[in-house]
């Protein structure tokens, strides 16, 4: 029996609470109300993280938990890169438990595994996984789980390892064909499944007419139909809903609880049978082309990423320029979902046409690959472009201290890429972050400092690694430029993020 078997099928995601900053008291109060309403409604799986909702999600949960006796199972997370050792995992978990005001958690999640190779690092002796096992032995956590943004084949291998009791994956009608092997493996090995992004990262509600085929006569909307489709899969135990308001929570609850008039098996079969015909010029991930390329281009992954151009792009990372957003959506799927960061922007396709002859949708794959690589060149989304960017920032500069602002994955990636391209940095790296909850914590081996420490620590330069808040941070740091600190934006006008 799945570890999620006794949980309500709708889970509460805490990454979209209406909190603008760590000092947003009104946003915190509204978020507490969302949590309490969810618990009162029977929701008992809560997906939390120390970074969610401006770093305040776990503070919200602390307040909510004090006001209820309703049962719940909450997650704590540790991500490879920020944490590497057993002790790192323990420190991260203890920090989260303290923030939530609890002494144990139901689920430890090895957060966002990006590849099978990363899984092997996590499970090395003395690594994060060992830390989780010790925490479970001590009764501090109940279950060891993982979430993944790796290729489906890699997720299957991790499930088959037997290391984990539960997994959280992205799943929606958009990627359901490609994720079928993951669901099959989960059933075979008795691994519980929770799904995030059941609305395709917002694409389904933003393109409800396009996805109207998901609905039956009783479905209120394409959103309801998509949530019900995910819940209809036998392997899926929990469908996560990230709610920014009580109204959104109630709508998701009504989708799960409302009159369905269609058995799960029939719903799944109906939608699956219509995916190809209802989405023309859309790669369905059937993979008939997968082994046809003499240049070994991962065509299914490229073409499923190209699907993103079929929709009106939603705003992401505080960006609103339509063409930039198209590139962000396309390349986010390629790099984040499929872990395919191109080495360079040179298209290896020789236009032999073998893939197009095997394509069941008769897609113009060669033309699509040309377009994708042109977008890769424009946006600097390749290892070669990132190396050139680092060289431009550092070439001829005798920096002794460099500040990275803010802490977290983008700054970690900056250091990791420097090591990969040039070896160990000759400068001292410092991390700064405006979130007071992060001051004094460790991010990828670096202590996190408050902005007020900049004058005292006196870095020669501060590199803004945040894609979302580049301009706000640049303006906030302008006064230090007047004191001789060089303030550098990592991203250009057309660039997409380095870390997603």
- 3-class SS at 393? helix
Q: In what order do the strands lie in the sheet with 442-443?
A: 442-443, 446-449, 428-432, 401-405, 461-464, 486-489
How far is it, in rounded angstroms, from Cα 189 to Cα 192?
Answer: 9
Q: In this model, does residue 368 exceed pLDDT 80?
A: yes
DSSP-derived letter for residue 258 is S
Find the mean pLDDT for residues 95-102. Answer: 97
Give, rounded to a whole angstrom, the gap between the first and last alpha carbons of the chain.
34
Q: What is the pLDDT of residues 51-65, one digit of tens each?
A: 899 889 999 999 999
Token code pair at residue 377: 């060149």
Find the mean pLDDT for residues 235-257. Answer: 94
Residue with tokens 């060992």: 130
pLDDT band at residue 286 under the 50/70/90 scheme: confident
Q: In this model, does residue 203 exceed pLDDT 90?
A: no
Neighbours of 173 (CB within 10 A): 25
How far is it, in rounded angstroms, from Cα 288 to Cα 309?
Answer: 22
Residue 75 · residue 47 · CB < 8 Å: yes
* Lowest mean pLDDT, pick from 21-35, 69-83, 248-262, 382-396: 248-262
Residue 201 · residue 223 · CB < 8 Å: no
For residue 403, the cross-strand partners are 430, 462
How far is it, in rounded angstroms, from Cα 489 to Cα 136?
Answer: 43
Q: What is the pLDDT of residues 141-152, one digit of tens each?
A: 999 999 998 888
How far is it, in rounded angstroms, from Cα 299 to Cα 338?
Answer: 11
Residue 310's pLDDT is what?
85
DSSP-derived letter for residue 213 is G
Q: What is the pLDDT of residues 456-476, one digit of tens each?
A: 999 999 999 999 999 999 999
- DSSP strand pairing (442-443 vs 461-464): unpaired
pLDDT band at residue 20 under the 50/70/90 scheme: confident
Find the mean pLDDT for residues 80-107. Answer: 95
How far is it, in rounded angstroms, from Cα 60 to Cα 236?
Answer: 27
Residue 418's pLDDT is what?
94
Listed in sequence order, the DSSP H helices in 166-244 are 176-189, 203-206, 222-231
Find the mean pLDDT for residues 74-98. Answer: 95
pLDDT band at residue 15 under the 50/70/90 scheme: very high
Q: Over the chain, what is the mean pLDDT?
A: 92
How far is it, in rounded angstroms, from Cα 113 to Cα 154?
Answer: 10
How far is it, in rounded angstroms, from Cα 463 to Cα 407?
Answer: 11
Residue 396's pLDDT is what?
83
Find the mean pLDDT for residues 65-86. Answer: 94
Q: In this model, does residue 361 exceed pLDDT 90?
A: no
Q: What is the pLDDT of residues 115-141, one digit of tens each?
A: 899 999 999 999 999 999 999 999 999
Give CA angle at 424 (421, 427), nearest 5°: 110
Q: In this model, does residue 372 exceed pLDDT 80?
A: yes
Residue 288's pLDDT is what?
83
Length of the chain: 500
How far is it, in rounded angstroms, from Cα 457 to Cα 337?
Answer: 38
Token code pair at residue 260: 């369905």
The whole-model pTM stands at 0.77
How far is it, in rounded angstroms, from Cα 85 to Cα 24?
Answer: 34
């Amino acid at each position: 029996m799945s570890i999620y078997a006794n949980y309500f099928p709708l889970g509460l995601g805490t990454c979209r609470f209406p909190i603008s900053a760590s000092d947003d008291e009104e946003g915190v109060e509204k978020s507490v109300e969302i949590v309490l309403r969810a618990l009162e409604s029977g929701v008992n799986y809560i997906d939390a993280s120390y970074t969610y909702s401006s770093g305040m999600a776990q503070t919200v949960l602390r307040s909510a938990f004090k006001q209820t006796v309703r049962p719940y199972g909450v997650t704590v997370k540790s991500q490879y890169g920020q944490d590497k050792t057993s002790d790192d995992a323990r420190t991260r978990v203890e920090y989260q438990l303290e923030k939530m005001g609890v002494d144990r958690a139901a689920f430890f999640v090895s957060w966002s595994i990006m590849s099978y190779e990363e899984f092997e690092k996590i499970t090395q002796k003395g690594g994060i996984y060992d830390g989780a096992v010790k925490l479970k032995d001590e009764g501090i956590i109940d279950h060891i789980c993982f979430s993944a943004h790796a290729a489906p084949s890699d997720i299957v291998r991790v499930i088959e390892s037997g290391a984990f009791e539960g997994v959280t994956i992205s799943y929606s009608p958009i990627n359901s064909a490609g994720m079928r092997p993951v669901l099959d493996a989960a059933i075979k090995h008795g691994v519980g499944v929770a799904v995030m992004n059941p609305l395709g990262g917002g694409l389904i509600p933003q393109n409800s007419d396009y996805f109207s085929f998901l609905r039956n006569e009783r479905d209120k909307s394409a959103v309801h139909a998509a949530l019900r489709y995910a819940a209809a899969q036998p392997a899926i135990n929990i469908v996560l809903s990230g709610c920014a308001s009580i109204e959104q929570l109630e709508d998701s609850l009504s989708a799960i609880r409302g009159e369905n008039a269609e058995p799960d098996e029939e719903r799944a079969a109906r939608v699956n049978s219509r995916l190809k015909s209802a989405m023309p010029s859309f790669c369905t991930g059937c993979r008939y082309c997968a082994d046809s390329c003499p240049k070994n281009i991962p065509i299914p992954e490229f073409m499923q990423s190209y699907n993103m151009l079929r929709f009106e792009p939603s705003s992401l990372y505080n960006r609103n320029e339509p063409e930039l957003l198209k590139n962000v959506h396309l390349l986010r799927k390629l790099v984040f979902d499929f872990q395919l960061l191109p080495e360079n922007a040179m298209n290896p396709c020789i236009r032999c046409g073998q893939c197009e002859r095997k394509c069941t949708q008769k897609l113009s794959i060669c033309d699509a690959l040309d377009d994708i690589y042109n977008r890769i060149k424009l946006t600097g989304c390749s290892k070669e472009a990132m190396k050139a960017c680092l060289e431009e920032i550092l070439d001829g500069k005798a920096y002794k201290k460099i500040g990275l602002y803010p802490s977290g994955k983008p700054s970690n990636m900056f250091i990791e890429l420097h090591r990969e391209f040039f070896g160990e940095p000759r400068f001292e790296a410092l991390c700064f972050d405006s979130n007071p909850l992060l001051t004094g914590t460790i991010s990828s081996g670096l202590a996190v400092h408050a902005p007020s420490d900049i004058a005292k620590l006196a870095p020669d330069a501060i590199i803004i690694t945040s894609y979302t808040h580049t301009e706000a941070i640049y303006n906030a740091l302008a006064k230090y430029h007047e004191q001789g600190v060089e303030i550098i934006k990592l991203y250009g006008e057309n660039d997409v993020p380095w870390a997603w």
